[in-house]
Structure 1
Amino acid sequence: RRRDTLHKLTTRLVRENQTIVIEDLTVRNMVRNHRLARSISDAAWSEFRSMLEYKAQWYGREVIAVDRWFPSSKLCSVCGTLRDRMPLNVRTWTCDCGTTHDRDVNAAHNLLAAGLAVTVCGAGARPQRSTPDGQSATKQKPLRREP
């Protein structure tokens, strides 16, 4: 049932969208958390992503994986202010600009903006976003040099 549902969902997503932006999560590390392991395994995130990627390739669509270090939850999607810290138990927060955000909805807005910026401008289109290792906000394969 799970595999059938994943096939139907990924096919629908790929058919209805030209570009799909996802967050590059380390599912292997997340499963080590004993409180979340069963839920994450039941959701089959890794299988969902692999199905999404190969079906996107079939249909000529684009899947963009935003780097796991991108601060999607802590960044205000309205004004771009970045909060220093935000514990996981904080589900809603109010920015200095007066906008109240739901953590997950705000992260979705920021991930979409980052993914679309990459398709238009290339990686690093929004310089105020930095990652701990100094790389771009999105994962990109290195360019191959022609001999």
Structure 2
Amino acid sequence: MRRRSVEYFRRDEGFLVLGSYMSGNNAASARCRETQPMVMSYSPDGSKKMAVAIVLRGNEGDSALPPAPGNSDVQLGIAGGEVVAARQFEGNATQEACERCRKQLLAALQRDGLPLAEAEAGGYFRLAQYGPLHSLSTRVNEIWLAVKLG
């Protein structure tokens, strides 16, 4: 899986920068297919990073890379190779809703004896959001915590 990300302080700024990249503000002036979910990473220090996951498959080939960004704030990376536990909730992803869901997921992992990865043990988590950004339909969200295996 290929991933694009940008650090942001206000969510709308992150969406605008990534949306611009996906609309053709990149080295190839190519439009990129929008994918789901939109993932935002939260650190205990308050910094946030928004990422869009891109899955390359079929005739694009496994080694195909997305076009280089036209904006130095956009970063390209390769994601995968981890196991995450997820807990789903619907509605607005407010700070309170995310924290409540994260605590419920932490309790379930502790009950099942699954240890957290190092960053998550320090308070890091990801919020995945599915569905259209501006819609009257109910938005589906997930809190993701990476776990250690073995």
TM-score (structure 1 length as normaliser): 0.27
Between Structure 1 and Structure 2, the one with more helix by share is 1
Between Structure 1 and Structure 2, the one with more strand by share is 2
TM-score (structure 2 length as normaliser): 0.26
